[in-house]
Structure 1
Amino acid sequence: MSVTQAQPAVATTVRTRTKLAHPALLLFGIVLVALNMRASLAAISPLLGEIQRTFGLSATASGLITTVPVLFQGLGAPLTPRLTRRFGAEKVVLGAVLTLGAGILLRVLPNSFALYAGCVVIGIAIAVLNVSMPGLVKREFPGRAAAMTGVYSTSMLIGATLAAAVSVPLEKVFGGGWEGSLGAWSLLALVAALAWLPQVLRSRQERAAVAAAPAGRPIEGIWRNGLAWQVSAFMGISSLMVYTLIAWLPTILVDHGMARGEAGLVFAFSNLVQVAGAFLVPLIAGRMTRQRGLAVSMAALNATGVVILLLAPVSGAWVSATVLGLAQGGSLGLALAFLVLRTDSALGAAQLGGMSQAVGYLVAAAGPVGAGALHQLTGGWELPLALLLVMAAMAAAAGWGAGRNRVLR
């Protein structure tokens, strides 16, 4: 195990591609796959109250609808590098997208067991995509890894924004049923799978060349490495804040007197603003030798947005949504950028991604259910939001360490 000062990444292989694997098709496939990676989670938040009433769920049980996918993102992440080594990243991504579509359909079957089983399947599928994509981007775009991270993290949030914005209108389109609204997102997964097929249908000769290309040495003793833990902690705490508010922001606003439709619009707007943060922050990070100040800035913006939500939940909702959107999108983009900036190979990026997302999403899973339980216990949202301020301070400390100019080897 070692940590060395970062050096510019150098491409070690050049591959001749078939027309089916043209870089434009690869980019198109990455974007469509990424659109699915948050949509199925964001779509459920505006409909959570309806789902809760349908099955007679408590606030804690409702929080599990968001928590279970996040938990299984953490549990599934360490398995992904083995899958990619055995089957190849392209096949693994295709399988994960199809599994995601199946999980979405399972989640809308008319019983609570299927609801939670679908959440498990969705979580595992997203875990595989979360870990596969950084290594794939590092391998295919070695000289522009940070910029491409911005592209796919932005696509993730565009999918989430679209899902949050149209979930309630789709419910009306399908005759007032939340099942049709949620189930419709399986079509997006199918479209992404079709768009990804060109990457799977490469010639055997090209796949053999890719498999033979050097992917770099594994990072030794990664689970004992302080920098790896700092990257993991930054991702985990930032994700906890994101998923907590994905689960409960519309409910918080409605509980303070905002109309359900407007609360959905505020939530969708916050997701829209995240797109800007997710795109710009990785670009900025890629031009910096150290990202310490950037990480602390994201944590500070997160804290500011939560304070506004505490002090003026309705009158300050749009301002809070703006600040939180920039902070959460930027934190996501920066956490993903750390995976390529703190490693020097596709193998290293996948390895760090497996660790950081295993740790990160297990931490994040506590957010939605914990906030729901605290709300049920206290009858208000003040304590859950105050704890998010503590989380923001912890994210700043982790980001200060993760932003050092060092590379895991």
Structure 2
Amino acid sequence: MTFSKLPWRFLLLMVLVGLNLRPALSSLAPLLHRVQQDTGLTPLAIGALTTLPVLCLGLFAPMAPRLARQYGPERALSIALLVIASGLLVRWWQAPAALFIGTLLVGAGIGVAGSLLPALVKRELPKGADLMTGVYTMALCLGGALGAALSIPLAESLGGWPRSLAAWSLLAIIALIAWEVAMPRTAPLKHQLGQTGTGATLGLLRQPLAWQVTLLMGSQSSLAYIVFGWLPTLLVNRGYGEAEAGWLMGLSVMIQLISALAAPWLARLGRDQRPALLLVLSFSMAGLWLLLMADSSLRWLGVTLLGLGQGGSFSLALTLIVLRTSDARLAGRLSGLAQGGGYALASLGPLGVGIMLEMQVSTAAVAWLLMAIATVAALCAWFAGRARQLAFTESGGLTTLPAPVR
């Protein structure tokens, strides 16, 4: 597909939707101290609040294929954006119950929307889905960076943290209106045996490749959400000031934009994606180690490596969903499984770190836990990164075949 023939309307919509899938998560972390002071929530309740959206991503992402079948993927995405906007508006009320309900709604909407988009990209851009997934991931990272960077300024200018959290509903409403007006009107695919109901999902559960992609998504996402929820706290425990710790995390998220866009191009240099995956995961490990264990003079190198590693690993994990499936509908199935199971697994990461910090475990012990999670991710990447592809057989079953030459 040439540059002039790219479906620019869909690409712009994809970026606009992607911008909404992280601010609701990243905007909360900088405000946790104020939230705890105003609501009286215990540290354990605050830990549950940071874990809830990640858990919801995992619980609700598997609903995306069913919603896509019932309403069409375009309308299902509209529903998800409406739920995100509603959840953000609920956060306007300062009551703890409203905060938890709003966070649950936000997590549900993001889980469904994030699962739907890879399948839509595969359908609209079948020959360049891997590269366009990089563009989508860059939008996710940008949204996350904006949420973290603007959270405190919005609270100061709007008169409190509830309005700061609710302000992001405006971006979700803009995306919903734009999507409703300009969303693609592609005719639905004709029915094919094995592509509806639970058959394809059960078939995926019997395919080792599907589990490898899911475990990779879960392990690398666990690292990402530990950074989102706890990196500033871990840095403060090392002796950094609160402001500097916040800036270090914000800079790391901004650097993710570079590798999120570049990683899919890097993946195209070889026959499979293992070299690219292992490279970015090694960057994440090195960055975390430098920030948590090395001398403070190396903190800027650590921030840079962490940003490059996490942006690249998340981008490649999403890219694998479209590269490891033969068509858009199967990509939707794998997306629901990989993101649903992966995010459910990822929620254990920030919860585990919260429990460790509650028990006053040393930062070194937390760092070793992060190294162990990264090692698991690298092991999963070695298998998931091979040039294999899930495909339907003539009888409607699922099989794993060598990936076609692109």
* TM-score (norm. length: structure 1): 0.89
Q: State whether residues 301 and 324 of structure 1, in contact with CA within 8 Å, keep that contact through their aligned partners in structure 2.
A: yes
1:152 partnered with 2:136: yes
Moved more, 376-385 or 68-77: 376-385
Letter in 1 for 2:122: K
1:278-289 aligned within 5 A: 278-289=260-271
2:248 equivalent in structure 1:
266
Change in 2 beyond 3 A, CA 1:241/1:380: same
Letter in 1 for 2:157: V
2:239 equivalent in structure 1:
257
Letter in 2 for 1:211: P
SS in 2 for 1:241: helix
Letter in 2 for 1:88: G
1:372 partnered with 2:368: no
Distance 1:216 1:129 in 2: 26
* Cα displacement (A) at 1:391: 0.4
2:316 equivalent in structure 1:
334
- Correspondence for 2:205 among 220, 223, 232: 223
1:8-407 aligned within 5 A: 23-175=7-159, 177-200=160-183, 210-212=187-189, 218=195, 219=200, 221-312=203-294, 314-407=296-389
Change in 2 beyond 3 A, CA 1:27/1:215: farther
Distance 2:249 2:193 in 1: 42
* Cα displacement (A) at 1:373: 0.9
* Cα displacement (A) at 1:402: 0.2
Change in 2 beyond 3 A, CA 1:60/1:92: same
* Cα displacement (A) at 1:261: 2.4
Distance 1:399 1:371 in 2: 23
Moved more, 220-229 or 355-364: 220-229
Distance 1:116 1:385 in 2: 29
Aligned length: 382
SS in 1 for 2:62: helix
Letter in 2 for 1:56: G
* Cα displacement (A) at 1:162: 1.2
Distance 2:179 2:293 in 1: 46
Change in 2 beyond 3 A, CA 1:59/1:312: farther
Letter in 2 for 1:284: L
Letter in 1 for 2:139: S
Q: State whether residues 238 and 292 of structure 2, in contact with CA within 8 Å, keep that contact through their aligned partners in structure 1.
A: no
Distance 1:80 1:136 in 2: 12
Distance 1:216 1:323 in 2: 46
Moved more, 70-79 or 233-242: 70-79
Residues 285-319 of structure 1: per-residue CA shift (max 9 Å, x gap): 24432111222222211211121122247543332
Q: State whether residues 147 and 286 of structure 1, in contact with CA within 8 Å, keep that contact through their aligned partners in structure 2.
A: no
SS in 2 for 1:211: coil
* TM-score (norm. length: structure 2): 0.89
Distance 1:371 1:391 in 2: 12
* Cα displacement (A) at 1:217: 6.0
* Cα displacement (A) at 1:215: 8.0
Distance 2:157 2:297 in 1: 31
Moved more, 216-225 or 47-56: 216-225
Residues 325-359 of structure 1: per-residue CA shift (max 9 Å, x gap): 11111110000000011011001111111111111
Runs of 5+ unmatched residues, structure 1: 1-9, 11-21
Moved more, 363-372 or 287-296: 287-296
Change in 2 beyond 3 A, CA 1:50/1:256: farther
Distance 1:356 1:371 in 2: 23
Distance 2:192 2:271 in 1: 24
Change in 2 beyond 3 A, CA 1:306/1:291: same
Distance 1:49 1:282 in 2: 37
Distance 1:288 1:217 in 2: 32
Change in 2 beyond 3 A, CA 1:350/1:172: same
Change in 2 beyond 3 A, CA 1:192/1:215: farther
Distance 2:163 2:292 in 1: 34
Q: State whether residues 270 and 322 of structure 1, in contact with CA within 8 Å, keep that contact through their aligned partners in structure 2.
A: yes
Q: State whether residues 302 and 327 of structure 1, in contact with CA within 8 Å, keep that contact through their aligned partners in structure 2.
A: yes
Residues 122-166 of structure 1: per-residue CA shift (max 9 Å, x gap): 111011111100000000001110111011010010111111111
Change in 2 beyond 3 A, CA 1:111/1:317: farther
Kindly, what percent of the aligned residue pairs are identical?
39
Distance 1:381 1:121 in 2: 33
Give the alignment's Cα RMSD to 1 decimal. Answer: 2.0
Distance 2:52 2:87 in 1: 12
